[in-house]
């Protein structure tokens, strides 16, 4: 007997992709009492996408644009609530130091967001940077902005906590199940999965670097390499008691960042500047040339930190042309796109999840989504 639409399992919403955005969205929707199915072709946390790498930066004085500040403040509250709910340590506030020329994109942007939103921050000249943080080196014309609440999110524990809480809240999560497509109808959407079709009122696409294969909204995928360095013998000045998280504009609009040593080495990477790829074609092996560029920048910023390479990883940025997010609806609202991306989206997951849940429920989000309209 042929399967009919009436025979298919029904959910209020299917969330495709269980990286950090999808996992947080499944959790938020379950909290709101919806029947949620979350699916992922892999078994997160894994190292193939953009939700791995041990740590992610969280900061409020957002150099990219002040519009992100209320969103990240909401996200802070969400991470702290999830810590209490799951009993997991997810956030380490190390302080964050932004270094660069006073007229550069980084410093001007940080000061603009801090002023617009009255954020706690301290402007440091070069001498004060060296006095407070003798392990750091700066260029002659550098200044710094110190943000006390910046720090590190623990990437895999954050993702595991979202998945744990989503299951506890009633969400059905299936890994090893791939999205194959969908058929949007007037009042529902048939979601075609590798395990068979299901029916839902809404489908959320939180596929990260796999999203461009399903929707054409002007996304590019970029290969990024990250390295952990074991500081030289006897050099213990790079732990989070002595150095903060550091972002440095080392050339116009070019950023390198480094985390303090949490016991597994100093993590350092260049923000953007990777090659365009796809999840299927990307070279997942960090190459010597990748490491040499990062090593040179780290040594200029934290002399003595770039010792033996303790570990390395490749991750993927999913970028829009303007590097803002891509969040909105398609196909008469049946499809919700959730691409909080361009290499700075992880920290926002709890807040973006609330926005996506509002779209699923046809509510007006409390944040202005006009800058994030897909395909703008």
pLDDT one-digit tens code per residue, 326-350: 999 999 999 999 999 899 999 999 9
Active-site entry in 56, 121, 248, 295: 56
- Concerning whether 56 is annotated as a catalytic residue, the answer is yes
Give the whole-angstrom CA distance, residue 228 versus residue 231.
10
Q: What is the pLDDT of residue 237?
A: 87
Q: What is the pLDDT of residue 181?
A: 98
Q: What is the pLDDT of residue 233?
A: 65
Which residue intervals of the chain are DSSP H helices? 20-31, 69-86, 105-116, 126-132, 155-168, 288-301, 349-360
Active-site entry in 31, 59, 223, 347: 347
- Concerning whether 271 is annotated as a catalytic residue, the answer is yes
What distances in angstroms separate CA 255 from CA 98, 99, 202, 294, 358, one per listed residue?
10, 10, 38, 11, 34
Q: What is the pLDDT of residue 5?
A: 60
DSSP one-letter string for 146-204: EETT-EEEEHHHHHHHHHHHHHHTT-EEEES--EEEEEE-SS-EEEEETTEEEEEEEEE
DSSP bridge partners of 265: none
User: What's the whole-model pTM score?
Assistant: 0.96
Q: Is the pLDDT of residue 322 over 70?
A: yes
Active-site entry in 55, 94, 225, 320: 55
- Concerning whether 347 is annotated as a catalytic residue, the answer is yes
- Concerning whether 315 is annotated as a catalytic residue, the answer is yes
Active-site entry in 158, 268, 315, 341: 315
Backbone dihedral angles phi then psi of residue 29, each to the nearest 5 degrees: -65, -40
Q: What's the residue count for the chain?
A: 376
- Concerning whether 55 is annotated as a catalytic residue, the answer is yes
- Concerning whether 186 is annotated as a catalytic residue, the answer is no
Give me 281's structure tokens: 């074609």
Sorting pLDDT into bands at 50, 70 and 90, what band is 232?
A: confident
Active-site entry in 52, 121, 334, 344: 52
Q: Is the pLDDT of residue 1 over 50?
A: no
Which among 269, 15, 286, 262 has a CA at the least distance from the CA of 153?
A: 262
Torsion of the alpha carbons at 252, 253, 259 and 260, rounded to the nearest 10: 30
- Concerning whether 323 is annotated as a catalytic residue, the answer is no
């Amino acid at each position: 007997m042929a399967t009919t639409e009436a025979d298919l399992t029904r959910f209020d919403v299917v969330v495709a992709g269980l990286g950090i955005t999808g996992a947080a969205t499944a959790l938020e929707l379950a909290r709101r009492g919806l029947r949620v199915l979350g699916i992922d072709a892999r078994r997160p946390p894994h190292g193939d996408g953009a939700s791995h790498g041990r740590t992610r930066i969280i900061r409020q004085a957002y150099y990219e644009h002040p519009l992100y500040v209320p969103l990240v403040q909401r996200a802070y509250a969400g991470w702290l609530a999830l810590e209490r709910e799951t009993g997991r340590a997810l956030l380490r506030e190390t302080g964050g130091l932004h270094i660069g020329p006073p007229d550069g994109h980084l410093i001007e942007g940080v000061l603009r967001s801090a002023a617009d939103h009255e954020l706690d921050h301290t402007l440091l000249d070069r001498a004060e940077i060296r006095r407070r943080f003798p392990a750091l080196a700066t260029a002659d014309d550098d200044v710094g902005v110190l943000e006390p609440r910046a720090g590190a999110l623990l990437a895999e524990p954050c993702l595991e906590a979202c998945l744990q809480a989503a299951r506890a809240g009633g969400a059905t999560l299936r890994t090893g199940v791939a999205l194959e497509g969908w058929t949007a109808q007037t009042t529902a959407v048939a979601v075609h999965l590798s395990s068979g079709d299901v029916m839902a009122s809404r489908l959320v696409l939180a596929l990260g670097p796999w999203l461009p294969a399903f929707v054409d909204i002007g996304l590019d995928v970029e290969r990024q390499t990250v390295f952990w360095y074991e500081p030289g013998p006897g050099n213990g000045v790079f732990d989070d008691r002595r150095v903060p998280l550091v972002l440095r504009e080392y050339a116009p609009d070019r950023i390198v960042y480094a985390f303090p040593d949490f016991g597994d080495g100093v993590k350092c990477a260049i923000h953007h500047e990777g090659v365009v790829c796809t999840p299927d074609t990307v070279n997942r092996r960090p190459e010597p040339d990748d490491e040499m560029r990062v090593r040179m920048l780290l040594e200029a910023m934290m002399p003595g930190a770039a010792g033996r390479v303790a570990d390395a990883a490749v991750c993927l940025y999913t970028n829009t042309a303007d590097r803002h997010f891509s969040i909105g609806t398609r196909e008469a609202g049946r499809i919700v796109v959730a691409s909080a991306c361009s290499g700075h989206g992880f920290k926002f997951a709890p807040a973006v999840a609330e926005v996506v849940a509002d779209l699923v429920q046809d509510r007006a989000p409390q944040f202005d989504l006009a800058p994030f309209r897909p395909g703008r």
